[in-house]
Chain A
């Protein structure tokens, strides 16, 4: 989608990398269950991310545990108000 403006749009711009860098790929599928939970939640909630935030938090925590992401406090990533629903989350997709 390079329908940029008069200056050549996005061709001339150097890409800006993401803030925290690159997610290493999960080749060993270590966090697959969390991912599936999250995606299932999205489907059931008509793609509203608000309702599935606890699961995305879980996914990121899984990544941090498996060394696929730099460890960081979850509140820094915007999850300060998210309450963990461990009991309901685990039994959801098993």
Chain B
């Protein structure tokens, strides 16, 4: 026990006796005049004397304690445990971040939708108050708008859709606050019934907030018989608040654009061939 002799006069020996009974002391002052290198050497001595101290479970305590006592090698074990806990904490934190990001991705869909409806970003048509309520409100207050807006119409068909789809009138000059009727003409050019569905868009995008569609022919499948031509109406209303919005100052042209997509095309040859012509005499 050369190191004991070297550290005579300090609290250390009595602590060593009680080591297996007490918990790890956090502050352990060593008045021992050992240098770092010498302390490491002493540690080996300590290990050889393990039998004297009894159960092997105390070895760990002893070792960690002794390394603290020795002052130099203690840092190895102490920092190792600290790093372990730090790494674990980091692991939990990063896992939580990953799950948080995934959750945010799922939440983004409804969040984005509410954001768009609130701000009308991307041409979304706002829907907080029904059109009838708006009309009632404005007719009561007697708002008169002088500004004339030109609404132009555009019609498109998707690829492979054999309909002829055009606006019946090129444009309409309206005032905000008036409900307007407009027509589109659709014609089925081939010899089979085609079912189509349409969608619409208002440009410029930010004006979409004030464009209220009361009734139209979109978003539902429409079936046209072969060669049938039909005029489909659109009934819309531009909110008078369009006039007062400073963002709409330079906007006097709106374009309402409809696109028809094919849902299905029915095959008429099957029905014709199944019925044979019978002649009776």
Residue numbers of A with Cβ under 8 A of B are: 1-2, 4-5, 7, 9-10, 12-23, 25-27, 29, 32, 35, 38-39, 42-43, 46-50, 53, 56, 59-60, 69, 75-81
Contact = CB atoms under 8 A, between A and B. Distances in A.
Contacts of B228: 27
Contacts of B132: 19, 76-77
A19 B122 contact: no
Contacts of B200: 15
B99 to A, nearest CB: 24
Contact of B180 (A9, A29, A49, A69): A49
B123 A22 contact: no
A2 B125 CA distance: 15
A14 to B, nearest CB: 7
A77 B219 contact: no
Nearest to A79: B179
Interface stretch (B4-12, B168-176, B241-249): B168-176
Contacts of B205: 4-5
Contacts of A16: 124-125, 127
B217 A23 contact: yes
B178 A78 contact: yes
Contacts of B168: 39
B136 interface: yes
B203 A1 contact: yes
The 7 A-B pairs at the shortest CB distance, nearest first, are namely: A78-B179, A56-B181, A18-B213, A22-B220, A78-B135, A20-B215, A4-B122
Contacts of B139: 75, 78, 80-81
A78 B237 contact: yes
Counting chain A CB atoms within 10 Å of each CB, which of B136, B233, B234, B257 scores highest? B233
A59 B168 CA distance: 15
Contacts of A7: 112, 121-122
B201 interface: yes
